[in-house]
Amino acid sequence: MFSGNTLMKPATSLAGRRGFLRTAAGAFGAAFWADSSLDAALQHVSTNSRPSDLKITDLRVAVVARAPMTCPVIRIDTNQGIYGLGEVRDGASKNFALFLKSRILGENPCNIDKVFRKIKQFGFHARQGGGVCGIEMALWDLAGKAYNVPVYQMLGGKFRDRIRCYADTTESHDPKVYGERLKKRRDQGFTFLKMDLGIDLLEHTPGALTQPLGLTGRESFNTQHMFTGIELTDKGVAMMGDYVGQIRDLIGLEVPLAADHFGHIGLNSCIRLGKGLQKYNMAWLEDMIPWQYTGLWKKITDAIDIPTLTGEDIYLKEPFIELARNHAVDILHPDLATSGGILETRKIGDAIQEYGVPMAMHFAGTPVSCMANVHCAAATENFLVLENHSVDVPWWDDLVNGVPKPIIQKGFIPVPDAPGLGVTLNDEVVKQHLMPGEGYFLPTDEWNKERSHDRLWS
Ligand SMILES: [Mg+2]
């Protein structure tokens, strides 16, 4: 890795012109190549040293598959040979970023907020926010490389040196099997756990669910919770509680255990289930209903004595503030690749902190997006815990270089000090895991001229 101090050595310690140029390269802040050789420095010294003249020249994509999600990694190139890495939200189309290429070409990537405000009108909730956020991450990476500082430092510095993670764990209908898997997570060093707890557990048990006869799984999957007509019976509530109880018997009550993916049950069933789970001391109940229903969330939150949580599909800070101001949920859970990127998520954390609400972070991407989360989490005081979906993907760590491996060390990610996000891509490994039919940062000239009259007012 590059060492800024090497380039900053005084000229007197080096011979002649090479020494002068070495000093000049450091003095002008040219300290940002993965290749730290002097030749590389000399090759770039006349252009890379001027962040104010940096311009975006290209945006390309490499779509990684089964990480375990589909993850479009983006690269923004510049006129000075440095580039930034970002990532479109897991499961989203790469076109959400490519559509924005014509809007960012020629912009100075160090003007992160200016570029973000130009493109943010093209983002929306859930995956539709992915393009804006992926670009925003890459701008931070570029600005950090241009000025030779880590992203967390540009956000105001660190509140912590390592980021607590929780890992998703593959579900089993057998609570003994699931409990053992969760126990293994604890043995791996994780200090915070999450499980799936859905009504699929009950589907073969007569009398556990009430639902419109003949309702198919597909119909209920695509219908918001309150509109399915599915309700839990007392027997169903008891079965789900007993299932969690058997898991708690294996892992103990001390480690936080959150739960997600309940299924699309009605509001009152959410409340009855929440009450049934109280004695198992859950860390939070996630997305019991869609995030948009602030008033309904408040009914659930007020009725049960377990923390409630939502937020992974929300774009921009305002809906988070609305939920926090109303104390509609106890914890908010932005996904930085949907919520508006690194700075917007930092703003979300700060804003909800005013209402006493902690910020957990949803995440399901490659180490590129992971590091964007790590820098933001380091610089946000009310951060609670960061998700990771890839603990069982053996090649996930190898997608990048530049940070200590394993990336998650006994349940925590150390905050890197290298410039920008702190990682470079391991080209060979990324190429091995591309989505079939996808290339490795191939030209995207067809997106250079895409345009419309973008102004939102007249
Ligand atoms: Mg979730």
Residue % of the chain over a pLDDT of 70: 89
pLDDT at 19 over 90: no
pLDDT band with cut points at 50, 70 and 90 for residue 385: very high
Ligand 1 midpoint to CA 290 (Å): 11
Whole-structure pTM value: 0.89
Q: Which of 377, 375, 404, 406 is nearest to 390 (CA)?
A: 406
pLDDT at 148 over 90: yes
pLDDT at 414 over 80: yes
pLDDT tens digits, 246-255: 999 999 999 9
CA angle at 34 for the pair 44 and 4, rounded to the nearest 5°: 80
- pLDDT at res. 451: 86
pLDDT at 21 over 70: no
Cβ proximity of 94 and 88 under 8 Å = yes
Same fold, 53-148+439-447 and 162-428: no
pLDDT at 434 over 60: yes
Ligand 1 midpoint to CA 25 (Å): 47
pLDDT tens digits, 415-430: 999 999 999 999 999 9
pLDDT at 47 over 70: no
Residue type, 338: T
Query: Which residues are paired to 259 by β-bridges?
Result: 195, 285
pLDDT tens digits, 62-120: 999 999 999 999 999 999 999 999 999 999 999 999 999 999 999 999 999 999 999 99
pLDDT tens digits, 222-235: 999 999 999 999 99
Q: Is 3.30.1330.10 the CATH classification of the domain at 53-148+439-447?
A: no
Ligand 1 midpoint to CA 334 (Å): 10
- pLDDT at res. 32: 43
Rounded mean pLDDT of the chain?
91
Residue type, 194: K
Ligand 1 midpoint to CA 194 (Å): 10
Q: Which backbone phi and psi does 258 adopt, to 5 degrees?
A: -90, 165
Residue of higher predicted confidence among 34 and 223 = 223
pLDDT band with cut points at 50, 70 and 90 for residue 5: very low
Domain ranges across the chain = 4-10+17-49, 53-148+439-447, 162-428
Ligand 1 midpoint to CA 55 (Å): 37
pLDDT at 43 over 80: no
- pLDDT at res. 276: 98
Ligand 1 midpoint to CA 285 (Å): 10
Ligand 1 midpoint to CA 40 (Å): 45
Ligand 1 midpoint to CA 409 (Å): 23
Fold of 162-428: TIM Barrel (3.20.20)
- pLDDT at res. 168: 86
- pLDDT at res. 313: 98
Ligand 1 midpoint to CA 307 (Å): 14
- pLDDT at res. 49: 55
Pairing mode of beta strands 71-78, 83-87: antiparallel
Ligand 1 midpoint to CA 111 (Å): 32
Ligand 1 midpoint to CA 188 (Å): 22
Ligand 1 midpoint to CA 172 (Å): 17
pLDDT tens digits, 331-378: 999 999 999 999 999 999 999 999 999 999 999 999 999 999 999 999
pLDDT tens digits, 159-176: 999 999 999 899 999 999
Ligand 1 midpoint to CA 196 (Å): 9
